[in-house]
Structure 1
Amino acid sequence: MAMKTVSLKTILIILALVLGTCLMIEGLASRPTLAESKAPEKSASSERTVVVLVEPIESRRFEERVMVQGNLEAKNVALVPARSKGTIQSIFVDEGDAVEAGRTRLFQTDPLKFEKTVDIQKQVLAVARCAVLEKEANLAKVRAEFHKAELDYKRFKKLVERGTVSRDEFEQVDSRYQQAEATSRHAEILIKLAREQLRQAQASLVIAQKDLSDALVFAPLSGRVAERYMEPGEMGDTNKSVLRIEDPSLIEASAFLPARYYARVVPGRTKVRLQVYGQTLADRMVSYRSPTIDSRLRTFEIKVEIKDPPEGVVPGAMAEVSVLLDSREGLGVPSQALQKRADSQVVFLINSTKARMVPVKTGLSTDGWTEIQGDGIAKGMSVVVQGQVMLNDGATVSVRKEAR
């Protein structure tokens, strides 16, 4: 009975193995090959439609600009010191006050010393005038004495020739004549000296009067008081500024550019656009380019004049400086339309429902658009600006709408 049971179990196991083997063979026979399984996928991929957005190729103006930051500063500035050493007696203006050249009083140095100097020089001048008068009177006296000596000399010369007077008497008269002649020349020199001293005294008086007038300082230029460095009672000097005056009606934007742009920036021809705290100013020409390049920083300075600047454009402000280096018309596409494929820039043009990949050369970029050149590129063609990353040459596309 035991042998029959074992035999039955063995038979059942064998039957199960045979049945499983048959099912496995049938499954393998019905499974498609690898090539057969991939073929439908490939076919489906090639027929896939990509939804894209397009924009037309446009003719636009492209610009090459270099952007830097600059500072605004007054073109006409005056640091006003005392014109002579002395105590600052009064200051008549404060920071922010408007001043007019030659008319607005700024400050005054203590005038007492200068007033006394003027009085002294007037006295010196009076003495010099008297000295001239004294020397002129002396010259008249000496000339009279010389005239008498000359007459005696001529008379005694005739007498000595006749033998009427002795030789010794003639020699005495001759000596007096020569002395009178020398005295006359000396008197003439003294009067010249007195006249020169008179002119010197006159010049000294003019200088003293100028020093007195300089004690009261007037504005050297029209503008506004930007800074005040001293207060009344402090000691003023010719090398110490009391006030700083700036003319806000004419300011300059100053900026520094890299040395490689030096030859491309030409004063009077190169345009510059300025933006001051969000306020865009009208384009202006470069008014100044430094004659040399800084050998340490490899930069050079440019300046742009701003006449009658608008409100808020004042010295000390910062400006965004945009220098126009080149400008030209060309065909362009939105910059996002460009794709890099195989180390070259390409765009996808749409022809009906197909995308065509076109290699292009890029140029200048302005306001989100890039200048392009390529075979078959023309104005008005539709170029893909969204969805191009999913495209290959010849792909089927569906244009949803034009991007704007």
Structure 2
Amino acid sequence: MGKQHEPPAPVRFAIVEKNMVSNQLSLVGTTEAIAGSTVAAEVSGVVEYYPVKEGDFVKKDALLVRLRSTELKLRLKGAIAVRERIRANLKNAEKELSRFSKLKETNSIAARQYDEALYNHEALLQEFLQKEAEVDRFEYEIEQKEVFAPFSGFIAEEYTQVGEWIDNGGSVVRLVNLEQIRITVDVPERYVIMLSLQSEVMVMIKSLTNSFFFGRIYAVLPYGDRNARTFPVRINLDNPGYKIKSGMEAIITFNLTGTQSALLIPKDAVVTAGNSRLVFLLSGNKVMPVNVEIVGYYDGNVAVKGELKPGDKVVIRGNERLMPGQTVLVLEK
């Protein structure tokens, strides 16, 4: 028996349309984390526990490092003992002062004796307050021996290891939050006047094939490059699943004033093959690849240039593994 033919591949299609669309400008920028912090230790000490490593994701308030606190705990214990001794002496001084105050009212005690009791009580009170502050300071320093994440994010860099000494203010880790991404792009001055804050832009990350994101213009900085006559524009966008990393190349598409005629197809019709983009043109129950160039992005559609015309049918589902001339089964739209 001969080899059986594979069944036709099921596909869905869309119609190529020609419409008036807004003019667009595409420029290249670089992604960066909006929130990034070099987390530091407030106090000095030897690293006792360092549970994180580069690339780890940590939640807010997760422990990043613990410094040795043995000496501080011993000093705290001694300070508490002294404070309690002073507290006991202060109670006795309060009782004596209260008794002398009653005797003074009936002129049954010399003024000098009362004054000595008063000064003794005041001196013990100040000594107690001083020691209380010392205890509080030791307790605070012990608390600071543990450093926690100020926000959720990824460990970008490690700055210490177990057994190393950290000075006051010494760096522990570099922490970056990738929940939101910022992109800075230099826009020529003739276009920057057409942009408005909070307007939506489309972002394509070059290394994430066929992945499109939408952000908003966060700021148009008022200082430009005198030589290039460009102005920095900052764009913020959400980053679900942390797909976008800091430092990636991004292509940002801005909508400008004015319109133009363009061929529109759903973005799902476009297949990336190496450095080329193509669509599969449907004719009867056969498909043929057609190279296209994307020239704009509009609400889930793309404007393209290529050997297409209005009314053509392009495959939008099942096009990932099609071959030139392949027979397909056309499903209902």
Q: TM-score range by the shorter chain?
A: 0.5 to 0.7
Partner of 2:45: 86
Contact 1:73 1:315 in 2 (8 A): yes
Q: State whether structure 2 residue 274 is matched by structure 1 residue 315.
A: no
More helix by share: 1
Give the secondary-structure state (helix, strand or coil) at the position aligned to 1:184: helix
User: Does the 8 Å CA contact 1:106/1:218 hold for their aligned counterparts?
Assistant: yes
Change (3 A) 1:211 1:294: farther
Q: What is the match of residue 236 of structure 2?
A: 305
Equivalent residue, structure 1, for 2:20: 60
Residue 209 of structure 1 and its aligned partner are, at CA, apart by 1.4
Counterparts of 2:226 and 2:70, CA distance in 1:
52
How far is 1:228 from its partner?
0.9
1:266 aligns with 2:196: yes
Distance 1:101 1:305 in 2: 22
Given that 2:66 and 2:145 are in contact with CA atoms closer than 8 Å, whether structure 1 keeps it comes out as: yes
Question: Which whole-Å CA distance do the structure 2 matches of 1:117 and 1:294 have between them?
Answer: 57
| Partner of residue 284, structure 1 | 215
In the aligned structure 1, how far is the partner of 2:237 from the partner of 2:200? 13
Q: Residue 194 of structure 2 contacts residue 257 of structure 2 at CA under 8 Å; is this kept in 1? A: no
> Of the candidates 224, 237, 242, which is equivalent to residue 172 of structure 2?
242
- Alignment of 1:121 with 2:52, yes or no, is no
* Greater Cα shift, 134-143 or 203-212: 134-143
* Deviation for aligned residue 1:195: 3.1
> Structure 1: how far apart are the matches of 2:190 and 2:130?
60
How far off is 1:243 after superposition?
0.9
Aligned residues: 249
Higher strand share: 2
Counting only pairs closer than 5 Å after superposition, residues 345-384 of structure 1 correspond to structure 2 as none
CA 1:197/1:69 → structure 2, altered by over 3 Å: closer, same or farther? farther
Give the corresponding residue for 2:98.
140
Task: Decide which structure has the larger Cα Rg and report it.
Answer: 1
> What is the identity, as a one-letter code, of the residue corresponding to 1:301?
P
1:227-264 deviations in whole A, cap 9, x for unaligned? 11212222112332121122222222222334555543
- CA deviation after TM superposition for structure 1 residue 192, in Å: 4.2
**By how many angstroms is 1:327 displaced?**
4.5
Are the counterparts in 1 of residues 213 and 237 from structure 2 also a CA contact under 8 Å?
Answer: no
Contact 1:78/1:221 (CA < 8 Å) preserved in 2? no
Q: Does the Cα contact within 8 Å between 1:88 and 1:107 map onto a contact in 2?
A: yes
Deviation at 1:107, TM superposition (A): 1.5
Shift of 1:99: 1.3
Q: Residue in 2 aligned with 1:255?
A: 185
Judging changes above 3 Å, is the alpha-carbon distance between structure 1 residues 311 and 215 closer, same or farther for their aligned structure 2 residues?
A: closer
Identity %: 19
Cα distance change on mapping 1:324 and 1:126 into 2, 3 Å = same
Q: TM-score, normalised by structure 2?
A: 0.63
Q: Find the aligned partners of 1:98 and 1:331 in 2 and give their Cα distance.
A: 47
1:323-338 correspondence to structure 2 within 5 Å = 323-328=254-259
Instruction: Tell me what 1:210 maps to.
Output: 140
